Every structure is written in C-alpha cells, then in structure tokens.
A and B are shown apart, each in its own frame.
Chain A
Amino acid sequence: MNHTPDEVSAIIREQLERLETHVEIMGVGTVIEIGDGIARVYGLEDVMAGELVEFPGGLMGIALNLEEDNVGCILMGPYGHVKEGDQVLTTGRISETKVGDELFGRVVTPLGDPLDGKGPMATELTRPLEVKAPGVIKRHPVSEPLHTGIKAIDSIIPIGRGQRELIIGDRQTGKTAIAIDTIINQRDTDVKCVYVAIGQKTSSIRRVAAILEEHGAMDYTCIVSAAASDPAAVQYIAPYAGCTIGEHICDNGGHALVIYDDLTRHAKAYRQISLLLRRPPGREAYPGDIFNLHSRLLERAAKLNDQEGSGSLTALPIIQTEEGDYAAYIPTNLISITDGQIYLEPELFYAGIRPAISVGLSVSRVGGSAQTRMMRQVAGRLKLDLASYREYRAFAKFASDLDAETQRILDRGDRMTEVLKQAQYVPMPVQRQVITIFAGTHGYWDQVRPEAITAVETQLLEYLAQHYPQIEQQLEQKQEFSDALTEELSAAISEFVKQLDRSYLLEPDVLKQADEVQSAE
C-alpha cells in the first residue's frame, strides 16, 4: 500500500511527538592545575573517592584526593591537550576494568583495552578495581597444591592454591623465569593465569608474550601491561586490574594465578603519585599507606569455601632487591604480608645452580598441607638436609681433612643440588619430580659424577617410561607411595643404574672410597 506524502509526514510527526530523548546529568568541575600526570580540579562536588572522571579528548582520570577546595586526580594517558579552565565530567563509575574469559589469550591495558591488535575486546563485563578482600567466613584453608613444575619449589617450598608466595631476588636472578615456568606448567590444568607487567620495558613484555605463545601458554593467560613508558597512574592501577581479572575467575568457582611483576616498581609509581598529590612522605619518601597498598592487594588472594564455589586466587608477587638487601623497606613489607618467599641468590645463579633458590632463606608458610602425599613422602627432610649441607659446604672450604660422615653429607648434598637444577621453560610433571627426588634422596646417584646427574636423570625418566610406564601412571593416579610401589621403583632404578654407561660414574678409586664410607656407616 502506498502512503500519500501527507500520511508519511503525519506518521513522522507522531513519532517525533513520542520521541523521548535521554538527558544526562553529570557532575562538572574545572581544571585549575595540570602537570606531572596529576590534575587539580575545582568543583566536582559530588565526586566519589576513586571515581573515574573524564577530561577533554576522552582522557580518563581517577579522583584520588578529595580536598576542601579541590579534587586531585591522576591521569591515565597523555594530557598535553588539557588546559587550565577545561571542563571535567564525572562518570558515576568507580574505577573499573573489563573482566571475563575473553581477556585470556590477550595483552591488555589495566583498563581492559586491547594492546595486541587482535581486535576489540568482546566482553561487556566490568568489575571495580578496588574491592574488599573476602572475609574469614568465605575462606577455606589452603589445601590443594599449585604445581610450578619446578622441582626445587614443588619439593621444598610448595605453593598452594590461594596462597601468596613472594618471589624475591636481585635483578637477573631468574625471578620472571620462575613465574613464566609456573604459567607454562598450568597448561593441562584448570588454572587461568594473569601476568601483570608493571613498569617493565615494552620489549620485555613482548618477549614474555612470545615465550608464552611459543609454549602454548597464551591461550589461558592474560597479560596486563603497564610499561615503563605508561603514566605512573596506569602502573599504579595495573596490579589491581590483574587481581580483578583473576578474582572474576575465582568468584565463578575457577582457579586463577596472578603474577605481579614487579611490586617494587609499583611502589615507586605509587610514591610518585603520592608525592605529586602532596601526601606526606614517610620512610624513603614512600607515603604512609604503602603497606596497605600491597596488603589490600594481596589479601584478595584467597581459597574460597565450598559455599562460595571453592574457587581460588593464587598470587605470586615479585620483588627486586638491591645488592641482596632483602631487609629493605618494601621487601620486608611484602615478606610480612605474604605466606612465604622464594629467595633467589645471585651467587647461586652465577655458580650455575639454576633456579638459584636459596634453600635457607626460602619458606612456604602454608607448606606441607599444600603438597601431594607422594611429594611429602620423598621430600619431607629435603629442606633441612639441604640447608645443613649448605652450611657444611661453607665450612668445608677451610677444611682439608673431613670425617666420613661430613663427607657423606657433602656428597649427597652436591648430588641433591644437581637433582634440583632445572632448565628454563621445561616444567616437570609432579610424578616425574617425585621419581627424580626419590632417586636422589635414596642414594642411587651416590656413585654418579655430580656433573652427569642432569643427563642421567633424563635417561632414567626415559628408561622408566619405556620399561616401567605403570610406575608413573600409578603415581599420577594415587598421588602416594605404597610399600609395593616404593619397592618397584627402587628395583627399577637399581636396574637402571646397573646398565648405566661407565663414563657417567665416578673413577674406580673414588668409588672404592665411597664404598668404604658406606661400609663405615
């Protein structure tokens, strides 16, 4: 049916009359001062603490200081175009970031905008950056292990789901390597990973992304990038954004692992913001709430109880020390907040003991309850033995003649140190870790030259996979050693040692000495 022109206009007029337009009401303010990534705004009477505010050109800021005369805002981007007298609008939203499964496999800014050129972020979900950590009632004690795939950690300093374990060490001691290995090791698990890069070189972030991609770990990992060239405000909110992304997984009953690399730079970014906002400086010019800055972030790591969906959020904060000074301000703060620390020593690193984990200074305060039974069975005394070995080793430097018992501790220690060495990017399944540690602690390597242990160990695992695949399978299923299994494994390893190439073993005269030592026992 055709409409006459009159009818068309009438319809339009009718529609026009019924057309409702939406009018926005916003709070407004005026920029009175801008610079150093900080703006002071006059007005904004109804602004909330932590609210997102909008400057001209779509520049976002967060209102941090609500003062009598003005509001201090931190700016989330370049602010060259903003002038004194410009209008600032409130948004009615507390600072938030995007969350959801769509973020995994992506590199994003702390506000959830993509940085990897893989198209727009499909998620509509957002969550506030700062929320209160789950309370006592909602929590469950940490009881499930989160395997890092690193022998030295899973055996000596076990990490549980929902734990906060600090990785601390000087620059270039392999802190990030541990974090990356841990992410790679979650490949066949239900753990989703968030890697938060704070104040790092863009090239380093790119490298991490490439490594994760190469090892097929990017699919379940989200990289939150706040590079060194980003404003301090962006670096300041980055860990909270990463935590929020992980928390979304945890609250929906999933398991998340968040790595903050690193919080030293985060503290520095926050110090910059605080000083520019003229908050009073305290020790080392850090503001008074620097402890709370990190404690409220790390308290959000949790293992939730069954009513809450039994999800978990594990946090691995990283701290860089200067010249091994772990008693400095920020490191001690974090050591006291977290449930333990993995201390990396440059001396060990340069001696070729990698990962360069200091057994004496590293600790996991959740510890054994987050370990599988089989690991507890083989590694129960490992930490103490290794710590005493390190002490003996230090003294043995001065001694020319050692008694047999000391010599035995030293030899065993040397070998265990070798056993715990591990190459980068090759995390090991926990049942294999258990086998290698079993071989070490039960003295099967006592006649093997220490430097050959890494090679022998690889051969052992191949040998067992070929001839006794049921051992590994049973360990994986039962997660513990029965007497029968212990015997079977002992027999298999003895058999393997017998057929071992002579070049891996100690010289005969040394062997004889070793025998004497054993018979002396």
Chain B
Amino acid sequence: MAIDSLTRRYARALYQQAAGRDEQEAVYQQLSAIARALRAEPRLLILLGHPTLEEERKISALLAIATTALPTEKATSSEPFLRLVLRKGRVRLLTGMSEAFLDAWDQDRGVVRAHISSARQPTAEELAQIKQMLSRLMDAEVELESEVEPDLIGGMSARVGDRLVDGSVRGKLQSLRRAIRPI
C-alpha cells in the first residue's frame, strides 16, 4: 500500500517518541490492532469521523481496541497520540501509520523485510539459505514472509522494499521476450 508523506510524518513522530521511552513493541502492537480493526470494519471510520460524537467516546472506543492487544495500563500511553490524530481528522491514515511505524522501526533496527514468492512451498532449509543470501545482498538482517505463487512456473522472486530480485522462470521468460520484441 502506498504511504504518503503525511502518514509518514505522523508515524515518524510517534516512533521517535516511542523509541525515546523504549516502548516500540507496545506502541506497535496497539497501532496494528487498531489498523486491523479498521481494515476489518470500514464503518468504524465513519463512526470515528462523525461530527456529533464526542471526542471522549471516540477515544475510549480506540483505546478499547488497543487494549485487545495489550493490558489496559500500557494501552493508555498511546492516548495522547490517538487524541491528536482524532483532532486533526486523520483517523483515515491510521492503517498507513501502522505500516510506516514498522518501516521506521525496521530501519532503526537494521532489519529489512523480504517478501518471497516461489513456485512451490520452500523447505525450512531453503528458507534459511534464502535468508542468508538476502542478508548478504542487502547487508542487513532479513525477515522473511513467503508466499506460494504457481504463476512463477519455477524458481522464486524476492521483493525487498523497492527492489525486486527476480530469479523465477517467469521473469526469465519475460526478459527473453523483451530481448526478442524489437525484431
């Protein structure tokens, strides 16, 4: 999903605050719980944006969702942030903020997230190999998400951030077609 600059600014500010208090994990858990809920129930957005509804009730609703991820006393720490987002009318951006928060966190930890598509389910051994190869390539610790995509025919492709490492048969066929097309 595309993350615009505004979303990124909110997420960065929140991350910097969380990093200062060393509670990235807790904040991320809450944020992602809210993002999940918003994705699952789009009508929640209408509710949260409703002009006649009091801010306190909106906040308590958001905190209630956040609490599903964490014990109550920890959840209240994100209250000021949620209040700010509500007042600025940026509730819509919360799902993106959750992703941008994770990006900022990953960058801070030196972790890159790789999305792997392969024609068949890779074995644990293969996954470990891939992980090793990618971390050498990217010069960072790699966290893998894998997915089976039979369309690739054979091999695998890995997407790391904005970079694509294509070693699939489909990719090779496509580059073959590119080479042939001009003639």
Q: List residues of A whose CB falls within 8 A of some B CB.
A: 21, 23-30, 32, 42-46, 54, 58, 68-70, 89, 113, 120-121
Contact = CB atoms under 8 A, between A and B. Distances in A.
A16 B70 CA distance: 53
A30 B2 CA distance: 8
A45 B183 contact: no
Best-surrounded residue of A24, A30, A68 (most CB of chain B within 10 A): A24
Nearest to A112: B182
29 contacts: A21-B167, A23-B167, A24-B165, A24-B171, A24-B175, A25-B137, A25-B163, A25-B165, A26-B164, A26-B166, A28-B159, A28-B162, A28-B163, A32-B2, A42-B2, A43-B162, A44-B162, A45-B162, A45-B163, A46-B163, A54-B178, A58-B177, A69-B2, A69-B4, A69-B5, A89-B164, A113-B182, A120-B183, A121-B182
Contacts of B20: none
Interface string B141-183: 0000000000000000001011111110001000101100111
Contacts of A23: 165-167
A43 B161 CA distance: 8
The interface size bin for chain B is 10 to 19
Contacts of B182: 113, 120-121
A60 to B, nearest CB: 10
Contacts of A26: 163-164, 166
Given A68-B5, A69-B2, A25 B181 contact: no
A58 B171 contact: no
Best-surrounded residue of B2, B5, B171, B177 (most CB of chain A within 10 A): B2
Contacts of A69: 2, 4-5
Given A45-B161, A45-B163, 19 more contacts: A23-B166, A24-B165, A24-B171, A24-B175, A25-B165, A25-B166, A26-B164, A27-B162, A27-B163, A28-B162, A28-B163, A46-B162, A54-B178, A58-B177, A68-B5, A69-B2, A69-B4, A89-B164, A120-B182
A142 to B, nearest CB: 38
Interface of B: 2, 4-5, 137, 159, 161-167, 171, 175, 177-178, 181-183
A204 B92 CA distance: 54
A116 to B, nearest CB: 15
B9 to A, nearest CB: 10
Contacts of A42: 2
The B contact surface, by secondary structure, is mixed
A120 B179 CA distance: 13
B139 to A, nearest CB: 13
A45 B162 CA distance: 6
A45 B2 CA distance: 12
Contacts of A70: 2
Contacts of A46: 162-163
Given A69-B4, A69-B5, A24 B181 contact: no
B12 to A, nearest CB: 13
A426 B114 CA distance: 68
Contacts of B178: 54, 58
Contacts of B167: 21, 23
A89 B165 CA distance: 11
Contacts of B137: 25
Nearest to B159: A28
B133 to A, nearest CB: 10
Nearest to A41: B2
Contacts of A21: 167
Contacts of A28: 159, 162-164
Contact of B181 (A32, A58, A89, A121): A58
A121 B178 CA distance: 16
A28 B115 CA distance: 13
Contacts of A120: 182-183
Nearest to A44: B162
B124 to A, nearest CB: 22
Contacts of B162: 27-29, 43-46
B68 to A, nearest CB: 31
Contacts of A43: 162
Contacts of B181: 58
B87 to A, nearest CB: 24
Contacts of A121: 182
A113 B163 CA distance: 29
Contacts of B163: 25-28, 45-46
Nearest to A98: B182
A44 B164 CA distance: 10
Contacts of B166: 23-26
5 smallest CB-CB distances across A and B, nearest first, come from: A45-B162, A42-B2, A28-B164, A23-B167, A120-B183
B103 to A, nearest CB: 12
Nearest to B174: A58
B104 to A, nearest CB: 15
A69 B1 CA distance: 12
Contacts of B161: 45
Nearest to B178: A58
A114 to B, nearest CB: 9
A278 to B, nearest CB: 15
Contacts of B175: 24
A24 B176 CA distance: 13
A42 B8 CA distance: 14
Given A68-B5, A113-B182, A27 B165 contact: no
A23 B164 CA distance: 10
A72 B175 CA distance: 24
A27 B2 contact: no
Nearest to A111: B182
Nearest to A119: B183
B5 A25 contact: no
A43 B182 CA distance: 28
A98 to B, nearest CB: 10
A121 B137 CA distance: 37
A26 B137 CA distance: 13
A377 B178 CA distance: 60
A366 B116 CA distance: 63
